Amino acid sequence: MKLQMVDLQGQYYRVKVEIDAAIQNTIQSAAYINGPAVAEFATELATYTGSRHVIPCANGTDALQLAMMALGLKEGDEVIVPSFTYVATAEVIALLGLTPVFVDVDPTTFMISPEHVAAKITPKTRAIVPVHLFGQCADMEPIMQIAREHQVHVIEDTAQAIGATYTFSDGTTKHAGTMGTIGTTSFFPSKNLGCYGDGGAIFVQDEALALRIKMIANHGQRVKYHHDIVGVNSRLDTLQAAILRVKLKQLDAYNTQRNKSAAFYDNALQKYASISIPERSPSSTHVFHQYTLVCHDFDREELRDYLAQKGIPSMVYYPIPLHLQKAYSNYVYTKGDFPVSEMLSERVISLPIHTEQEEEELLYISDAVVEFITSKGL
Ligand SMILES: *Cc1c(COP(=O)(O)O)cnc(C)c1O
C-alpha cells in the first residue's frame, strides 16, 4: 500500500478513455489557444455553479490579480485578507501596490472572522478577500453585510472549495465563488477540480465587470490590436479546458468521496480530546480539500514523524502565517498580533485525503494516529 496525500494517477485511470480522447482531439484540431473547449468549459462551469459569467484564466493567482485590477484598486487602497492562508491571496495585493490588511481567523473553522474584519475597516478599505479554506465557505452572510454597509467589494478566493455551497438565513443557497463581487478559483492538479498543469477561473455576476476582466486578461483589448487599457496575458490552454470538461462531470462524485474519507476519520478520531477534528460550519457544505486536525497537548512534529515511519505522509498547511512571512515584514505586523493564526500554524496537521482512498487505507492511517495518541497517554 503506497500512501499519498493525493492520488492523481489513480484518478486519471478511472477516466482515462475519455481524457485521452479529449487530449487527442485537441492535439488534432491544432486549436491550442482559445479552442472551442475553453468556451464550452466556461459555460458548463457557469451552469454548474449558477454563476452568470465564468472567465477562464491561466491560474488561481492570476485570477486574484485580474479581479483586483478589474476593480480599479489604486496604490494605497487597503484589502482585508486572513493571515492564515496560502500566500497567493496577499501576494497579488502587494504586487499591485495595494496594502494587505491581515486579520485573524476563527479557531474552529480556520477562516476569516467577521468580527475581526469589521474592526479593520477604514476609509481606505476597498475590498475584503475571504478565503474558503480547506473546502468550506467562510461565513459569507456577515461578511457580505459588512461589505454592503461600508460599500467595499468582496473577492472570494475559492481555490480550495469549488463545489461547496453556502446557505443564507433567508434560505437561499449559493455556490462558493458566486456570492461576492468576484470569485476566483484554481485548477492546480491537486485542487478538487484539477487539470494537468496550471489553470484558473473567475466567477462574476455583473456583465460590465465580466467584460472588463476579459479585456484585462487579453492584453487590454476588446478588438484585436486595439489596446484600450494595460492588461496581461492570462489564458486557460485548450488542452486543460478539454481535460476539465471531463473532470467537471466527476466533481460531485469526487467531493462525495472526499466526504466519505472525512466521515471515516471523524468517526475514528473524534473521541480523543488531545486533537480536534475539523469543525463544520453550520451554513456551508464541506468539500474537504484538506482534512486538518489541531493537535492540542503534544508536539505536532512527533505525530508527523510517527506517521512517516509507518509510510503515512502528512502536510502542514500552513506553517507560517502571512503576517510573519519575511516578504511581508514591511507591513507593521509582529508576533502576537494574530494569536489564532499563530497557534494554528504551530498545531495543525493535514492527513491524506483524496478521491481514490479505500477503507483499508483510511483505517491504517487513523489507527496510526490513535496508536500515537494512546501511546502518549493522551
Ligand atoms: C492554490 C491556491 C491559490 C493559487 O492557485 P494557483 O493556481 O496555484 O495560482 C490561491 N489561493 C488559495 C487559497 C489556494 O489554495
Instruction: Tell whether the model's pLDDT for residue 1 goes beyond 80.
Output: no
Q: Express each pLDDT in 348-363 by its tens digit.
A: 999 999 999 999 999 9
- Per-residue confidence at 332, pLDDT binned at 50, 70, 90? confident
Q: Residue range 230-253: average pLDDT?
A: 98
pLDDT tens, position by position, 257-270: 999 999 999 999 99
Give 353 Cα–ligand 1 centroid separation in angstroms. 18
Res 190: pLDDT: 98
Residue 331 has pLDDT above 90, yes or no: no
Does ligand 1 have an atom closer than 6 angstroms to the CB of 86?
yes
Domains and CATH numbers, the chain: 8-248 (3.40.640.10), 251-375 (3.90.1150.10)
Residue 367 C-alpha cell reads as: 489507527
pLDDT at 378: 82
Q: Rounded to the nearest whole angstrom, what is the distance from the C-alpha of residue 171 to the centroid of ligand 1? A: 30
C-alpha to C-alpha distances, 141 to 48, 148, 171, 283, 325, nearest whole angstrom: 22, 11, 11, 9, 30
Q: Does the C-beta of 60 come closer than 6 Å to ligand 1?
A: yes
Average pLDDT of the chain, as a whole number: 97
Instruction: Judge if the beta carbon of residue 155 lies within 6 A of ligand 1.
Output: no
pLDDT at residue 377 above 90? no
Check residue 139 and give its pLDDT: 97
Q: Give the C-alpha separation, 187 to 170, whole Å.
A: 32
pLDDT given for residue 93 in this prediction? 96
CB 19 within 8 Å of CB 8: no
- 184 CB within 6 A, ligand 1: no
- Whether the model pTM is above 0.95: yes
205 has a pLDDT exceeding 90: yes
Backbone angles phi, psi at 79, to 5 degrees: -125, 125
Q: Which ligand 1 atom is the nearest neighbour of the CA of 187?
A: 7
Distance separating alpha carbons of residues 298 and 285, to the nearest angstrom: 30
Question: Ligand 1 center to residue 191 CA distance, Å?
Answer: 9
Is the CB–ligand 1 distance for residue 188 below 6 Å?
Answer: yes
How far is the C-alpha of 81 from the C-alpha of 130, rounded, in Å?
Answer: 6
pLDDT tens figures, 53-77:
999 999 999 999 999 999 999 999 9
Calculate the dihedral angle through the C-alpha atoms of 266, 271, 275, 278, rounding to the nearest 10 degrees: 30
pLDDT, mean of residues 305-315: 98
Q: If you measure from the C-alpha of residue 61 to the centroid of ligand 1, how many angstroms do you get, rounded to a whole number? A: 6
Name which of 9-13, 187-191, 289-293, 324-328 the model is least confident about.
324-328
Specify the DSSP class assigned to residue 279. Answer: P
**116-168 confidence digits (pLDDT tens):** 999 999 999 999 999 999 999 999 999 999 999 999 999 999 999 999 999 99
State residue 263's pLDDT score.
98
- Asked whether residue 328 carries a pLDDT value surpassing 80, the answer given is yes
> How far is CA 160 from each of CA 132, 308, 350, rounded to the nearest angstrom?
6, 25, 14
Indicate if ligand 1 lies below 6 Å from the C-beta of 281: no
Determine whether the shortest distance from the Cβ of 181 to ligand 1 is under 6 A: no
